[in-house]
Amino acid sequence: MTVSLVTGGAGFVGSHLCDRLIADGADVLCVDNFFTGPKSNVSHLRREERFELLRHDVTIPLFVEADRIYNLACPASPVHYQHDPVQTTKTSVHGAINMLELATRSKARILQASTSEIYGDPDVHPQPETYTGRVNPIGPRACYDEGKRCAETLFFDFHRQYSLEIKVVRIFNTYGPRMDPNDGRVVSNFIVQALRGDDITIYGDGQQTRSFCYVDDLVDGLVRMMHSESSVTGPINIGNPGEFTMLQLAELVLRLVGSKSRLRFMPLPIDDPKQRQPDIRLAKEVLGWEPKVGLEDGLVETISYFRRRLTQS
Ligand SMILES: NC(=O)c1ccc[n+]([C@@H]2O[C@H](COP(=O)([O-])OP(=O)(O)OC[C@H]3O[C@@H](n4cnc5c(N)ncnc54)[C@H](O)[C@@H]3O)[C@@H](O)[C@H]2O)c1
């Protein structure tokens, strides 16, 4: 019997990961403090005997048994991680220490959900894993970016110092069902605005680009990484390299929703990166992974989720 612990398991990505692990036959312990992930994201799993849900804050040490630990606990959208920046840094740093110590005690493999924010506002494009980034350490995004950078440092130090088996994945923008409609992320923002007929808010001139990975593709990458040979530590980028301007994304969403919303231009937030695109050659080579779901198909699934959700509320 293999016990997989998922911190942040009630969140957007974590809940899909729990679904996948249960489907794969694992016992899953989902640990969450429900700060940004509602219990309803995993309520359908409570019928499963192999699924357990534990309310716990990862900034506090945890004493359980696990074979594999997926460390996803951390608010991921600027609205949420800037709400209590000190707690965000604590979640990344103290949370990483607590989970790494748990992995050391249980002799578990541990995977860190790191982020493309490690690269900051990059001057290398697309970003390979060897790029060390351009992050402002004192700006309003630093609690997240630097917290995640420090977590990576801790992972590699535990690996070097205690021979712990680590897996570090740098996740690029991911979207899909169960995103929070109010968290200010661009895909959910555009879809919700289009469905409600509200103006679509575009920051800056809308020419900044992002790449968008559908959540099922990301989860497949996380699972492949966890099962990779012990010599594979990462960091490995997981994301969809298809690059779109914000204007292109807005037009696609408007077309798929069939909405007549208009575009409204707003000033660009501080330290907002102009371009972000993963270099995924390493993921292809080492994990045999590449994204399969195109933006249009993924958006259709996500739009139908939000349509259902908005009619329920
Ligand atoms: N979604 C993306 O595009 C993306 C991109 C890069 C990295 N990531 C990383 O992936 C992980 C999951 O992101 P997500 O999009 O699902 O975000 P999310 O906010 O939906 O999920 C995070 C989960 O962590 C929980 N959490 C927060 N602080 C906690 C704490 N102190 N103790 C226990 N639980 C806590 C939240 O309640 C939530 O359920 C995060 O670590 C994030 O940094 C996500």
Using one digit for the tens of pLDDT, what is the confidence trace for 50-82?
A: 999 999 999 999 999 999 999 999 999 888 999
Average confidence (pLDDT) over 4-19: 98
Question: 209 — phi, psi (to 5°)?
Answer: -110, 155
Residues 6+ apart with CB under 8 A from 185: 77, 173, 175, 179
Single pTM value for the model: 0.96
> What is the pLDDT at residue 276?
78
Residue 149: band (very low, low, confident or very high) from pLDDT cuts 50, 70, 90: very high
* Distance of CA 138 from the midpoint of ligand 1 (Å): 22
Sorting pLDDT into bands at 50, 70 and 90, what band is 145? Answer: very high
Is residue 183 predicted with pLDDT exceeding 90? no
Residue 191 vs residues 182, 255, 264: alpha-carbon distances, Å? 11, 11, 14
Q: Which residues contact 1 (CB under 8 A, 6 or more apart)?
A: 27
309 CA distance to ligand 1 centroid (A)? 21
Between 20 and 122, the higher pLDDT residue: 20
Residue nearest to atom 26 of ligand 1 (CA): 73
Q: Give the active site residues.
A: 144
* Residue of the CA atom closest to atom 30 of ligand 1: 57
What's the CA-to-centroid distance between 75 and ligand 1, angstroms? 4
Q: Which two tokens stand for residue 61?
A: 């040490």
Radius of gyration in angstroms for the set of CA atoms belonging to the chain, rounded to a whole number: 19
What is the model's pLDDT at position 162? Answer: 97
Residue 12 confidence class, pLDDT cut points 50, 70, 90: very high
Give ligand 1 pocket residues (Cβ under 6 A).
7-8, 10-14, 32-37, 57-59, 72-76, 80, 91, 95, 113, 115, 171, 173-174
| Three-state secondary structure call for residue 156 | helix
- Angstrom distance (rounded) from CA 171 to CA 213: 9
pLDDT tens-place string over residues 94-138: 999 999 999 999 999 999 999 999 999 888 989 999 999 999 999
Residue 304 pLDDT greater than 80, yes or no? yes
